[in-house]
């Protein structure tokens, strides 16, 4: 096979582990591997949740992107200007042209607060989905002496859909630890008809919200943030006053996607086959993780499970073989509930989160608060840096969702691909 060029757009979780896996599979005389990203700051995004509560140090969450890549991988620190599907070429902002035999889009999702009227970061309006904003929210919480704290999801999809729930659960714990809970009201506002996209998990998590006296405001589509008046206003005219607002803005794909004819949809996400991860625009283009339009949660675990198959399908494409339809929508998430506990959910396109254990009959408890799951979430950080990003296989954890150990009730299956 003649030497091929693989270009990967994005040096985050998905792009880094894909590049490293491909470098392990191809000798340097078989394939050039190029990774492009706008900066050299690799952020451990699960740690952002902990920053506002003083449970994670910001400087511990960032490392060099270059340092995470294996030898023989070229790293380009530059913005992407556009992609030409017709020419099989990436144009960088500095004028560099990168032709490719295979393109992998792994550039994640970006926050778009400007799409919501009045959503401007201020003393009483924050988010924790970016490192600098999470630090600012930490400082705001330090001065919070009680009042109404509102967490609002502007629209779906968002990165890590359980994170807003985790935030209100941790806020409940944090306020109690400081003797401020009786002086405070916690509200979670969501455009969904429940607190989560999957009904079984939503029912369980709604019970936890009620138990912790956290008000749930459903079908609330935020149309305006009035920071000066401390009001959150929905499109149907409902208002939620706040003393401190934590907003999760609309998400979209990387800006270059919409500048590249045929590559993305209206939101800037790349449409792909939900089982092969191959682009619907052209067979030598693949996308996964947050950058894709896959009908499942945008979470780091999803990128991990998708990434294993993506590497195989890139190799199959270069060999002239048909791609493997092996991804079943598998995602799992640790969900912090406060007081040193968490719960774990595991699901795919067809099966909702159910009780049991993961990854087998003996393992971490599912859909139940436990100290073990909390330790599992904390233990994921070293696993991320030393196993996941380097592209090492993790025994017992693969692309498809394991059924062993799960208590699957009648009617638990979603029945179709489509619900995030």
Residue 413: pLDDT band by 50, 70, 90 thresholds? low
User: Of the ranges 141-145, 203-207, 270-274, 315-319, which one carries the lowest mean pLDDT score?
Assistant: 203-207
Backbone angles phi, psi at 294, to 5 degrees: -55, 135
Q: 4-110+252-319 with 112-250: one CATH topology?
A: yes
**Buried/exposed 128-137: b ≥16 CB within 10 Å, e otherwise:** bbbbebbbbb
Q: CB count, 10 Å around CB of 94? A: 10
Q: Are 408 and 357 in contact (CB under 8 A)?
A: no
Q: For the segment 237-280, what is each residue's pLDDT rounded down to a tens digit?
A: 999 999 999 999 999 999 999 999 999 999 999 999 999 999 99
Domain boundaries, the chain: 4-110+252-319, 112-250
Question: What is the structure's pLDDT at 73?
Answer: 98
Which residues, other chains included, contact 210 with Cβ-Cβ below 8 Å and sequence gap of 6+?
none
The 8-class DSSP code of residue 194 comes to S
> Is pLDDT above 60 for 369?
yes
Question: What is the structure's pLDDT at 416?
Answer: 42
Q: Are 247 and 140 in contact (CB under 8 A)?
A: no
Q: Are 263 and 252 in contact (CB under 8 A)?
A: no
Q: Which helix (H) or strand (E) holds 381?
A: helix 371-383
- What is the rounded CA–CA span in Å between residue 381 and residue 151? 25
- What is the rounded CA–CA span in Å between residue 162 and residue 179? 26
- Class at the top of the CATH hierarchy for domain 4-110+252-319: alpha beta
Question: What is the structure's pLDDT at 411?
Answer: 60
* Residue 307, token pair as written in the block: 């990434």
Question: CB-based burial of residue 386 (10 Å sphere; 0-12 exposed, 13-18 middle, 19+ buried)?
Answer: exposed
Question: What is the structure's pLDDT at 418?
Answer: 43
Mean pLDDT in residue range 62-90 = 98
Q: Which helix (H) or strand (E) holds 136?
A: helix 131-142
Q: CB count, 10 Å around CB of 250? A: 22
* Residue 94, token pair as written in the block: 């500095």
Q: pLDDT over 90 for what percent of the chain?
A: 90
pTM of the model: 0.95
> Is pLDDT above 90 for 2?
no
Which ranges constitute the DSSP H helices of 226-348? 255-258, 300-319
> Is pLDDT above 90 for 398?
no
Q: pLDDT over 70 for what percent of the chain?
A: 97
- What is the rounded CA–CA span in Å between residue 130 and residue 133? 5
Q: Which helix (H) or strand (E) holds 199?
A: helix 199-211
**Mean per-residue pLDDT over the chain, rounded:** 94
> Is pLDDT above 70 for 344?
yes
Taking the C-alpha atoms of 99, 100, 101 and 105 in order, what is their torsion angle to the nearest 10 degrees? Answer: -150
Architecture per CATH, 112-250: 3-Layer(bba) Sandwich (3.50)
Q: For the segment 192-247, what is each residue's pLDDT rounded down to a tens digit?
A: 999 988 888 888 899 999 999 999 999 999 999 999 999 999 999 999 999 999 99
> Is pLDDT above 60 for 415?
no
The 8-class DSSP code of residue 9 comes to E
Residue 1: pLDDT band by 50, 70, 90 thresholds? low
> How does strand 147-153 pair with strand 244-248?
parallel
User: Of the ranges 66-70, 80-84, 194-198, 302-306, which one carries the lowest mean pLDDT score?
Assistant: 194-198
Q: Residue 243: which of 342, 313, 146 has the closest Cα?
A: 146
Instruction: For 38-113, list the strands marked E by DSSP.
Output: 41-43, 62-64, 73-77, 80-84, 89-92, 97-99, 102-105, 109-111
> How does strand 244-248 pair with strand 125-126?
parallel
Q: CB count, 10 Å around CB of 181? A: 18
3 state SS of 310: helix
Question: What is the structure's pLDDT at 420?
Answer: 47
Question: What is the structure's pLDDT at 338?
Answer: 95
Q: What is the layout of strands, in order, in the sheet containing 80-84?
A: 80-84, 89-92, 97-99
The 8-class DSSP code of residue 321 comes to P
Q: Residue 355: which of 203, 209, 173, 163 has the closest Cα?
A: 203
């Amino acid at each position: 096979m003649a030497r091929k060029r693989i270009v990967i757009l994005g040096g985050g979780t998905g792009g880094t582990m894909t590049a490293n896996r491909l470098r392990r599979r191809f000798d340097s005389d078989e394939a050039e591997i190029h990774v492009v990203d706008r900066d050299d700051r690799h952020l451990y995004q699960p740690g952002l949740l902990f920053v506002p509560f003083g449970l994670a140090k910001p400087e511990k969450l960032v490392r060099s992107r270059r340092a995470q890549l294996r030898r023989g991988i070229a790293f380009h620190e530059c913005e992407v200007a556009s992609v030409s599907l017709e020419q099989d070429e990436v144009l960088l902002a500095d004028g560099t042209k990168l032709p490719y035999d295979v393109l992998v889009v792994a550039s994640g999702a970006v926050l778009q607060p400007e799409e919501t009227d009045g959503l401007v970061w201020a003393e009483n309006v924050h988010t924790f989905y970016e490192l600098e904003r999470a630090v600012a929210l930490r400082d705001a919480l330090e001065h919070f002496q009680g009042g109404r704290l509102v967490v609002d999801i502007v629209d779906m999809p968002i990165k890590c859909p359980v994170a807003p729930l985790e935030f209100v659960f941790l806020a409940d714990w944090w306020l109690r630890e400081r003797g401020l809970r009786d002086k405070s009201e916690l509200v979670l506002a969501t455009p969904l008809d429940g607190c989560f996209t999957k009904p079984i998990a939503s029912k369980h998590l709604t019970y936890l919200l009620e138990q912790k006296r956290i008000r749930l405001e459903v079908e609330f589509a935020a149309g305006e943030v009035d920071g000066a008046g401390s009001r959150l206003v929905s499109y149907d005219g409902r208002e939620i006053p706040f003393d401190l607002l934590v907003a999760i803005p609309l998400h979209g794909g990387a800006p270059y996607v919409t500048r590249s004819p045929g590559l993305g949809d209206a939101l800037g996400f790349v449409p792909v086959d939900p089982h092969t991860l191959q682009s619907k625009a052209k067979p030598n283009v693949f996308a996964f993780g947050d950058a894709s339009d896959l009908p499942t949660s945008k979470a780091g675990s999803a990128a991990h499970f998708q990434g294993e198959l993506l590497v195989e399908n890139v190799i199959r494409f270069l060999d002239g073989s048909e791609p493997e339809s092996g991804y079943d929508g598998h995602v799992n998430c640790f969900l912090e509930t406060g007081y040193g506990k968490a719960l774990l959910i595991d699901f795919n396109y067809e099966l909702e989160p159910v009780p049991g254990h993961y990854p087998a009959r003996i393992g971490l408890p599912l859909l139940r608060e436990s100290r073990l799951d909390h330790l599992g979430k904390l233990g994921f950080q070293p696993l991320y840096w030393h196993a996941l990003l380097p592209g090492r296989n993790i025994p017992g954890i693969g692309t498809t969702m394991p059924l062993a150990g799960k208590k699957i009730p009648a009617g638990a299956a979603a029945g179709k691909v489509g619900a995030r």
